[in-house]
Amino acid sequence: AQSVTQLGSHVSVSEGALVLLRCNYSSSVPPYLFWYVQYPNQGLQLLLKYTSAATLVKGINGFEAEFKKSETSFHLTKPSAHMSDAAEYFCAVTANTGNQFYFGTGTSLTVIP
Amino acid sequence: ETGVTQSPTHLIKTRGQQVTLRCSSQSGHNTVSWYQQALGQGPQFIFQYYREEENGRGNFPPRFSGLQFPNYSSELNVNALELDDSALYLCASSFPDRPNYGYTFGSGTRLTVV
């Protein structure tokens, strides 16, 4: 079985500051891990994904995430926050043989000008 | 690349009624999954269809049912609506044997049950 836990339902950062959104996963098999972003009244857009290749994954809009097996973590970072980054962020996990994604409860990012 | 489109965008129904939500999958994706996203929550897996057959189901009662058509469009049907069914319903398409590709999501249908 797989699950993810997102620590911090709300995160606020100043414009230009580091963004760090936390995700810890649980999986009995090698996982595939994803970060999605959701803007108000929209669906989910894929930011980046880990699929057992490089542990440091780069995504769109300057985001990146590092897979740490020893810590069962897949935290999302961005060096400098932009106002347009304000949104809801979801971490998700699936197995390489699975057909179901398990999502976290989300982290709402606020960027303060 | 056509993306995933869902209709309608918003819907209001009365408790006990039935509703049908529609989805047109991304071209080339022959697998469609439906998720329910309650307010303030992450998406919850309802079921997945591959080649017009159910290919996995989450913890949802049988009054949630689906159909997938040869042209990659699909439907989610919910009978005997309950107030707790109020949520954003998301359709997502993918390749069935490539979960590492991730999903392509539609913008969702906001269902309100009163």
pLDDT higher for A17 or A54? A17
For range A46-70, the mean pLDDT: 92
Compute the mean pLDDT over every residue in chain B, rounded to the nearest whole number: 91
Q: Would you state the structure tokens that stand for residue B39, as one six-digit string?
A: 């307010």
* Closest Cα in chain A to B9: A41
Report the pLDDT averaged over residues A16-28.
95
Token pair listed for B34? 């439906």
Tell me: pLDDT of A17 over 80: yes
Name the token pair of B20: 């049908």
pLDDT at residue B2, rounded to an integer = 59
Residue A43 has pLDDT above 90, yes or no: no
Cβ neighbours for B35, distance < 8 A, ≥ 6 positions apart: A103, B43, B44, B45, B46, B89, B90, B91, B92
Report the pLDDT value the prediction gives residue A15, as an integer from 0 to 100.
Answer: 97
Where is average pLDDT lowest: A20-24, A26-30, B32-36? A26-30
**pLDDT (average), residues A15-28:** 95
pLDDT at B96: 63
**What's residue B98's pLDDT?**
66
At residue B73, φ and ψ (nearest 5 deg) are: -80, 160
CB B31 to CB A100 under 8 A?
no
Subunit contact A98:B102, Cβ cutoff 8 A? no
B36 touches chain A (CB under 8 A): no
Q: What do you get for the CA distance between the two ends of chain B, in Å? A: 37
User: B30 and chain A: CB distance < 8 Å anywhere?
Assistant: no
For B7-34, what is the mean pLDDT? 92
pLDDT confidence bin for B1, thresholds 50/70/90: very low
Q: Which two tokens mark A90?
A: 């979801």
* pLDDT, mean of residues A2-20: 96
In this structure, are residues B31 and B94 in contact, taking their beta carbons and an 8 Å threshold?
A: yes
Alpha-carbon separation of residue B23 from A74, B18, B61, B86 (angstroms): 31, 17, 21, 18
Are A52 and A34 in contact by the 8 Å Cβ rule? The answer is no
Residue-wise pLDDT tens digits, B37-77: 999 899 999 999 988 899 889 999 999 999 999 888 999 99
